[in-house]
C-alpha cells in the first residue's frame, strides 16, 4: 500500500495512493496525520483496505504531495554505506555504522525546491532509500527489525560539503533548511523487499548515481539493530540508509548543484521525487 500526506489548498491530510488517484483517509477513517495512521495501523488497516477498494477521491495530479511525515521526531542518516561511495570518497568501508542526524526542520516535500545556501556553493545531493519507523522500540534484534519498519520512501540527503567537512561532526552541513526532501509517499513494508531496488539520481536528466539497494554495506535491519541499542525509535522517525557512488563531491573536478538545476531521485517501485534548486536567502529573520 502507498500512503501519502497531501493537500488540496487547505491543511495537509493523509491519503492512500491507488493508481492515479488518492483516497482521503482523513475523511474516510479519521486519521489526521501520518504518525497517527502509523501508530494505529494494526487497527485501521482493514478499514483502509475496504475504503480504498471503493473510493477515488482526488486525481493524484490535482493534489500537492508533502513529506509523508511532516515533522519527524528524528531524522537519522548513515554515512559511507555503499562500497563504491567509500571508494570514491577515498575511505575504507567502515566496520562500525557511522550515524549522524539531520535536523527535523530540514524536512522538505517531494516536489518542493531545495535551497542553494547563501553561505556556500558546495551543494551536493545523495539519493537514498529512507526507512520509516512504525513502532516504538528499543533493543530490536536484526532478525525482528522488519517488524518495526512501517515502510519505505525515497529521500535526498542534500549536503553542503564545506560545512559538512570543515569540522569532524557533519550535522551542520547535513541540516540546512529544505535539505531532507522525502516522498513521494510511503510504500508499506508488506509490499516491498527493501534490499533489491534500483536507485538512481539524475541532475537535469543526466544520470549521476545508479546502483541497487542490495549493495548496502549495513542493510536496513542491521541499521535498526544498531540504532535501537542506543535509543528508542518512534513511529515516524526516518532513517536515511546511505548513498551510492556518483556524488558531485567525488567528481574531478567536483560538480556542485546550481540554482535552476533539477534533481530527480528515484528508487524502483517506490517512485521518484524531484526538486529544483533555488537560491536561499541570507536575510535576517526573527519571528
Residues that bind Mn ion (CB under 5 A): 126, 157, 243
Rounded to the nearest whole angstrom, what is the least distance from the CB of residue 100 to Mn ion in the complex? 9
Total Cβ atoms within 10 A of residue 77? 26
Report which residue's Cβ sits closest to Mn ion. 157
Nearer to Mn ion, 26 or 209 (CB): 209
Nearer to Mn ion, 126 or 225 (CB): 126
Rounded to the nearest whole angstrom, what is the least distance from the CB of residue 53 to Mn ion in the complex? 38
Total Cβ atoms within 10 A of residue 91? 12
Q: What is the 3-state secondary structure (H, E, C) of the chain?
A: CEEEEEECCCCCEEEEEECCEEEEHHHHHCCCCHHHHHHCHHHHHHHHHHHHCCCCCEEHHHCEEECCCCCCCCEEEEECCEHHHHHHCCCCCCCCCEEEEECHHHEECCCCCEEECCCCCCEECCEEEEEEECCCECCCCHHHHHHHEEEEEEEECCEEHHHHHCCCCCCHHHCCCCCEEEEEEEEEHHHCCCCCCEEEEEECCEEEEEEEHHHECCCHHHHHHHHHHHCCECCCCEEECCCCCCCHHHCCCCCCCCCCCEEEEEEHHHEEEEEEEEECCCCCCCC
Nearer to Mn ion, 102 or 116 (CB): 102
Rounded to the nearest whole angstrom, what is the least distance from the CB of residue 241 to Mn ion in the complex? 8
Nearer to Mn ion, 135 or 215 (CB): 215
Please give the grid coordinates belonging to residue 131: 526507512
**Burial degree of 211 (CB within 10 A; 0-12, 13-18, 19+):** buried
- 274 forms beta bridges with 264
Rounded to the nearest whole angstrom, what is the least distance from the CB of residue 188 to Mn ion in the complex? 24
Nearer to Mn ion, 21 or 223 (CB): 223
Rounded to the nearest whole angstrom, what is the least distance from the CB of residue 109 to Mn ion in the complex? 19
Nearer to Mn ion, 116 or 179 (CB): 179
Pairing of strands 271-279, 262-267: antiparallel
Nearer to Mn ion, 126 or 237 (CB): 126
Rounded to the nearest whole angstrom, what is the least distance from the CB of residue 57 to Mn ion in the complex? 35
Rounded to the nearest whole angstrom, what is the least distance from the CB of residue 120 to Mn ion in the complex? 17
Rounded to the nearest whole angstrom, what is the least distance from the CB of residue 137 to Mn ion in the complex? 23
Nearer to Mn ion, 164 or 228 (CB): 164
Amino acid at each position: 500500500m502507498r500512503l501519502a500526506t497531501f493537500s488540496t489548498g487547505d491543511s495537509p491530510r493523509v491519503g492512500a495512493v491507488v493508481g492515479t488517484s488518492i483516497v482521503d483517509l482523513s475523511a474516510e477513517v479519521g486519521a489526521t496525520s501520518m504518525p497517527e495512521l502509523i501508530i494505529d495501523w494494526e487497527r485501521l488497516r482493514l478499514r483502509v483496505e475496504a475504503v480504498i477498494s471503493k473510493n477515488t477521491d482526488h486525481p493524484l495530479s490535482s493534489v500537492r504531495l508533502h513529506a509523508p511525515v511532516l515533522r519527524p521526531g528524528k531524522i537519522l542518516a548513515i554515512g559511507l554505506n555503499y562500497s563504491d561511495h567509500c571508494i570514491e570518497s577515498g575511505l575504507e568501508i567502515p566496520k562500525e555504522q557511522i550515524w549522524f542526524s539531520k535536523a527535523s526542520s530540514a524536512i522538505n516535500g517531494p516536489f518542493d525546491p531545495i535551497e542553494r545556501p547563501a553561505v556556500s556553493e558546495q551543494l551536493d545531493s545523495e539519493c537514498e532509500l529512507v526507512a520509516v519507523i512504525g513502532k516504538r522500540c528499543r533493543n530490536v534484534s536484526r532478525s525482528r527489525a522488519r517488524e518495526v519498519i512501517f515502510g519505505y520512501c525515497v529521500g535526498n540527503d542534500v549536503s553542503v560539503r564545506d560545512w559538512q567537512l570543515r569540522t569532524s561532526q557533519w550535522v551542520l552541513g547535513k541540516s540546512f533548511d529544505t535539505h531532507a526532501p522525502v516522498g513521494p509517499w510511503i510504500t508499506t513494508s508488506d509490499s516491498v523487499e527493501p534490499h533489491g531496488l534500483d536507485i538512481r539520481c539524475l541532475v537535469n536528466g543526466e544520470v549521476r548515481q545508479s546502483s541497487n539497494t542490495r549493495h548496502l554495506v549495513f542493510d536496513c535491519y542491521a541499521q535498526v539493530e544498531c540504532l535501537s541499542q542506543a535509543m528508542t525509535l518512534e513511529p515516524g522517525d526516518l532513517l536515511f540508509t546511505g548513498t551510492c557512488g556518483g556524488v558531485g563531491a567525488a567528481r574531478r573536478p567536483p560538480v556542485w548543484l546550481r540554482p535552476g538545476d533539477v534533481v530527480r531521485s528515484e528508487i524502483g517501485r517506490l517512485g521518484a521525487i524531484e526538486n529544483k534548486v533555488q537560491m536561499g536567502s541570507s536575510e535576517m529573520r526573527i519571528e
